[in-house]
Amino acid sequence: MKNTPTTLAAAIMLTAALAAGACSSDSTTAGTDIALDASHPTPTSSTTTEPVAPSPTTADEPSPPPEEPLESSELQLALDTIVADSGVPAVGAAMFDRDGVIHIAVSGVRQRGDTTKATAGDLFHLGSSTKAMTAALLARLSEQGQGISFDTTLADAFPANATMHEDYVNVTIGQLLTHTGGAPGDEVDVDETILSMPVVEGRALGTELVLSEPPARDPGTVSSYSNAGYVIVGSAMETATGTSWEDLMIAEIFEPLGMTSCAFGPPGTATDTSQPSGHDESGQPIYWDIPQIFGPAGTVHCTMADWGTFLVEMLHAADGNSDFLTQASIQRLVEPAAVPVEGFPDGQSAAGWLVIDGPDGPDGPGYYHNGSNTAWYSQAVILPNTNRVILAVANEEASGEQAAGMAFAALSELDAGQ
């Protein structure tokens, strides 16, 4: 490809705006109350998030590190400059096509104040970039006839819920995935009791409490970003299958695609620098995550290569060349909701994605998302018509947002020069 695709240019321009608004997954307010959308507990080094059941991909027993991918020297030089200019502890970026990796590199250190270099095989927290995986999980369960689909209403998903507000009864799972179901953003606090419960029970009770109140917005009228909506979807999948969202992710996403590095919560520990740590708003290393109840909205960590595997599989599925998802499922996942996106009139919301440069654009549609738990940053764009997947990760939010945008620009320049 000789020219920078319009959709990639649009993604670069959207990076800063989206990170601060609708598609930036998680913002923090310290305190004991946890808002279903945004707030987190006061950070501590002991807070962690783990899968429900032990597995080879748990945070407690990480898999052996995968073989280091071959790094791109041109991208490496660009990222070295970006680290110096942005002050980010570490930033990684990668570009893929349908055949695999084109460029991949990381620059910087795993912890600010330590000299241990980050590598292209390190683990990074994805934040709300997890949402695309949760949406793909729903599509997988629907294809398998597991009793839940995009069109399942909340009344059917939770038949035992006798307290559901009447305005939620006909809201569908698909609407929650596109943020059009009226679920609240940061308007609802979760009692500490819920956070101390086993995670599946906590999600179920939190869901019941949210659905007992009127929707925050009229369902079907606007796409208003909501982590709570994804918690509800996760609970609905757990109700349908009798299996935790974490175990479903392992069985239906990670294992089929060979994403052996993937697990949940912060990848590092305070006792060593075998993996990068996130960094708090003061720039200090921190090992914590949003509570596990919010997993479907954003707690996955993995290598760039494994994340790229998932994103490239979306390209193959769109072509009808995937055993992972059908073309019909991909079409449903990226189908734009026919309502405006709150705060972004030029965007359209899909299931786990923001649609940029629609089908009338010169390069066709692109699909963008970013994420942060306030200690990490990630972003990705899928460009089917130009055969590109681009992603960036960082182990700090504010500087990471800037560095990721610069990395996208560097990758577009490299691609245009090939």
Q: Locate the domains of the chain by residue range.
A: 6-129+244-416
Residue 188's pLDDT is what?
Answer: 59
Residue 54's pLDDT is what?
Answer: 31
Proportion of the chain in helix, strand, coil states, percent, rounded to 5: 35, 15, 45
Please determine, for residue 3, whether its predicted confidence score (pLDDT) is greater than 80.
no
Mean pLDDT of 302-327: 96
Q: How confident is the model at residue 344 (pLDDT cuts 50, 70, 90)?
A: confident
Residue 226's pLDDT is what?
Answer: 96
Mean pLDDT of 26-32: 31
Q: Which residues make Cβ contacts (< 8 Å) with residue 324, sequence separation at least 6?
A: 140, 256, 257, 313, 316, 317
Q: How confident is the model at residue 43 (pLDDT cuts 50, 70, 90)?
A: very low
Residue with the bigger pLDDT between 15 and 263: it is 263
Q: What is the CATH number of domain 6-129+244-416?
A: 3.40.710.10
Question: What does the alpha-carbon distance between residue 384 and residue 415 come to, in Å, rounded to a whole number?
Answer: 15
Secondary structure of residue 133 in the 3-state scheme: helix
Please determine, for residue 249, whether its predicted confidence score (pLDDT) is greater than 70.
yes
Mean pLDDT of 162-171: 98
Please determine, for residue 58, whether its predicted confidence score (pLDDT) is greater than 50.
no
Mean pLDDT of the chain: 85
Spacing of C-alpha 40 from chain mean position: 17
pTM for this model (two decimals) = 0.87
